[in-house]
Every structure is written in C-alpha cells, then in structure tokens.
Amino acid sequence: MNNTFPIEGNLSGLDRKDFQMDINNKKTDLYILKNQKGMEVAVTNYGCAILSIMVPDKDGKYANVVLGHGSIKEVVNSPEPFLNTIIGRYGNRIAKGKFTLYGQEHQLTINNGPNSLHGGPTGFHARVWDATQIDDTTVQFHYVSADGEEGFPGNLDVEMTYRLEEEENALVIEYRASTDRETIVNLTNHAFFNLAGVANPTPTINDHIVTIQADFYTPMDNVSIPTGEIAKVDGTPMDFRTPHAIGERIDEPFEQLVFGAGYDHCYVLKKTEMGALDLAATCTDPKSGRTMEVYTTEAGVQLYTGNWLGGFQGAHGTTFPARSALCFEAQCFPDTPNKAHFPSATLLPGDEYQQVTIYQFGIKE
C-alpha cells in the first residue's frame, strides 16, 4: 500500500486517521484524487469504496454527490454494504446461486432471498485491496480472489483503477482481470449518486431527469431474477429514451416497478459495436444544474433508485432516506450464466476481462 500524496485540507472534510485500520492483517487507508479543474474524489481500499465526489453546481458551489461514510468503521458496518464499492466476482443476481459451466455445477453463497447477489456477503466489496496512488489523479487497486471464494471457480487476478481526467470533471474506472480456470466475471461499481448533494436529510432523486440509451430492458420476476425476455421499453414507464424525471412514473402500478419497489432494472444498451465505449445514460438535477453522463464498454446498465435505503447516517451527519440516490451500474445482464441467449460473462484462461466506465460531471447550460 502506498499513499504519499497530501490529503490534508481536502474538500470532503475527511480525516485520514479515521480510515486507517488493520483488517485481517491488511491496512486500510484514505486516498484523495484531485484534478486541475478542482474536482476531488475520496476513496478507501476497503472494497475500493468511493467516499465522496466533490463537484461544483451552477454557482460554483462544491458538494459531495455520492452517499458516503466518514470512517472505515462506518464503511465496514454500513447498513448498505455495497455503498459505492466495487462489486464482484459477479455483480447483480444469480438465480438460486447456481450455474453450470462446462458441465460442472457451481453453488454460490445465498445472500438475497433465494439468490446470490453482488458476489456474496464477503465479495469484493468486503475485501481490503492492495492500493498504490500513482499520482494526484490516479489510484490503482489489486486483489486476487481465490479459487472457491464464495463458490466461484478459479483464481481471479483483478486490477482496478480510479482516475480523474485533467481537462474534464470525469471519474474513469478501468478494470482488468485474468483467471487460471474457466469462471464467470461481471464487475461493476455501485456508486449511489445524488446530484443535489448529500444533506440531512439528503433529498430524494425524484426530480433528477434521466435518459438511458436503451430500447430494451430485462424484465424480472418477484425475486428480481430476469425472466429471460428482452422487452421493449416503448409504451411503458421503463422508457427513458427521452428525458423523464425519476419521480414522474416510479409509483405507477406497473408490475415491474411493483416488483422492484421502484426502478431496479437492467437496460440493454444501444452499442455501436460490442465493447465500444458509448454513452449509456445522462442525469440532471434541475436545481443545482449539475449533470452526469455515464459512458461504458458494457452491454447493460442497472438503474437503481435507492428504493431500500432506510435513512441511515453518513459522513458529517448526513442521512440517506429511501430514494435519496440513484445508481447506474455498468454490467453484464443479471443471471447471465443461466441465460444462454444473454451476452456471455465467461472468462477463460489466457483471456483478459476488460471494462471501462466513466462518470462525467458538468453544468447544464
């Protein structure tokens, strides 16, 4: 672990000593990234959790636009264990925690009703990663997930980087992974955004205006497993091809919204070609003027509207009620290993998993 860059006087108001702890004989720490435009991101190497993203509003006022904690103890014991963390080995749900790969059935840890969610209870979000801060704008993380961890086959070697662009207020997340045995991989970041800025209480995201570059989505059953259908968004409250406020249709008696208690669905992104880095979604907070664009190489993006947030406390006395955040989780489709017609999540020895996702912030003109 290497953190030689000054972090005193950071915009987030976080204290390094509050993030220094020994967990399973590995040390946690605080890392501060800054670019020339004044954007600042604070992260820790426990789960690679993002603690704050400081960006300006239309009046130049900086605020934290992710729901974050103020100490490593709060991160470890969070009521929302996936808050702004890296998710793996498989983001989203796998039905009954089972899948068959090359004739062998694998049983994963069950941690979400009858299903496996986000890599299990001790997935990548609950691990201390090796960390090296490369420069003011970049921190690199490394973790080796052992064969059999949470039931996943193969030793998976993962490298993940957070990097701020110098000329744009953009956070770039780059992933690479390799395996010594056939396995499945679906990595994502579970950042909880509120472009109005966190507060006590943090306001809902009902007035956030969203577009998603998708004609289709993957409907789910009552335990949030895709039915296998690739359904048109046309004529439904799932349609964000044109701008809509989140709160405009979220409480309609549409079966999919009832199942998710709001939006919690994977959208099938329009791609110029598989693996291309394309615009996936946009989000605007009308009051602050802050905007966010999401770009990704992934085939899908999960829109989640913080439906199950329970009002717990974050850094500096902030609180996070239901629907006080929205997530754009770039990923493979849920339950892909059990849906042969979904784009594959299989990784073989000798191949490399690669992903790039960018969250770019701006001001509405």
Average pLDDT, integer, range 61-80 = 98
Average pLDDT, integer, range 174-196 = 98
Q: Is pLDDT above 90 for 265?
A: yes
Whether 133 is in a domain gets the answer yes
Residue 252 is among the residues annotated as catalytic for this protein: no
Whether 176 is in a domain gets the answer yes
Average pLDDT, integer, range 58-72 = 98
pLDDT confidence of 304, banded at 50, 70, 90?
Answer: very high
Q: Is pLDDT above 70 for 297?
A: yes
Give the tokens for residue 197. Answer: 């800025």
CATH number of the domain where residue 84 is located:
2.70.98.10
Whether 87 is in a domain gets the answer yes
How buried is 316 (Cβ within 10 angstroms: 0-12 exposed, 13-18 middle, 19+ buried)?
middle
Which of 125, 190, 208, 265 does the annotation list as catalytic? 190
End-to-end CA distance of the chain: 41
Percentage, residues of the chain above pLDDT 90: 97
pLDDT confidence of 9, banded at 50, 70, 90?
Answer: confident
Q: Is pLDDT above 90 for 8?
A: no
Average pLDDT, integer, range 286-314 = 98
Give residue 6's pLDDT: 63
Which of 40, 149, 150, 329 does the annotation list as catalytic? 329
Give the tokens for residue 340. Answer: 């042969």
User: What is the number of structural domains in the chain?
Assistant: 1
Q: Is residue 89 reached through a cis peptide bond, with omega within 30 degrees of 0 on the bond before it?
A: yes
Among 216, 258, 205, 219, smallest CA distance to 241 is for 216
Residue 190 is among the residues annotated as catalytic for this protein: yes
Whether 225 is in a domain gets the answer no
Q: 225-255 as b/e, with b when 16 or more CB fall inside 10 Å? A: bbeeebbebeebbbbbeeebebeebbeeeee
pLDDT confidence of 365, banded at 50, 70, 90?
Answer: confident
Residue 90, φ and ψ in degrees, nearest 5: -135, 110
Average pLDDT, integer, range 261-287 = 97
Give residue 4's pLDDT: 61
Which residues span the domain enclosing 28? Answer: 1-202+294-365
pLDDT confidence of 124, banded at 50, 70, 90?
Answer: very high
pLDDT confidence of 332, banded at 50, 70, 90?
Answer: very high
- The reported pTM is 0.97
Q: Is pLDDT above 80 for 3?
A: no
Whether 247 is in a domain gets the answer no
- Top-confidence residue, 276 or 5: 276
Q: Is pLDDT above 90 for 1?
A: no
Whether 49 is in a domain gets the answer yes
Q: What is the 3-state secondary structure (H, E, C) of the chain?
A: CECCCCCCCCCCCCCHHHHCEEECCEEECEEEEECCCCCEEEEECECCCEEEEEEECCCCCEEECECCCCCHHHHHCCCCCCCCCEECCECCEEHHHEEEECCEEEECCCCECCEEECCCCCCHHHCECEEEEEECCEEEEEEEECCCHHHCCCCEEEEEEEEECCCCEEEEEEEEEEECCCEECECEECCCECCCCCCCCCCCCCCCEEEECEEEEECECCCCCECCCCEECCCCCCCCCCCEEHHHCCCCCCHHHHHHCCCEEEEEECCCCCCCCEEEEEEECCCCCEEEEEEECCCEEEEECCCCCCCEECHHHCEECCCCCEEEEEECCCCHHHCCCCCCCEECCCCCEEEEEEEEEEECC
The residue type of 119 is G
Whether 73 is in a domain gets the answer yes
Give residue 228's pLDDT: 98
Q: Is pLDDT above 80 for 132?
A: yes
Contact 321, 204 (CB under 8 A): yes
Q: Is pLDDT above 80 for 119?
A: yes
What does the alpha-carbon distance between residue 56 and residue 196 come to, in Å, rounded to a whole number?
A: 10
Q: What is the pLDDT of residues 28-55, one digit of tens each?
A: 999 999 999 999 999 999 999 999 999 9
Average pLDDT, integer, range 327-354 = 98
Average pLDDT, integer, range 317-323 = 98
pLDDT confidence of 243, banded at 50, 70, 90?
Answer: very high
Whether 54 is in a domain gets the answer yes
Average pLDDT, integer, range 257-268 = 98
What does the alpha-carbon distance between residue 226 and residue 218 come to, in Å, rounded to a whole number?
A: 6
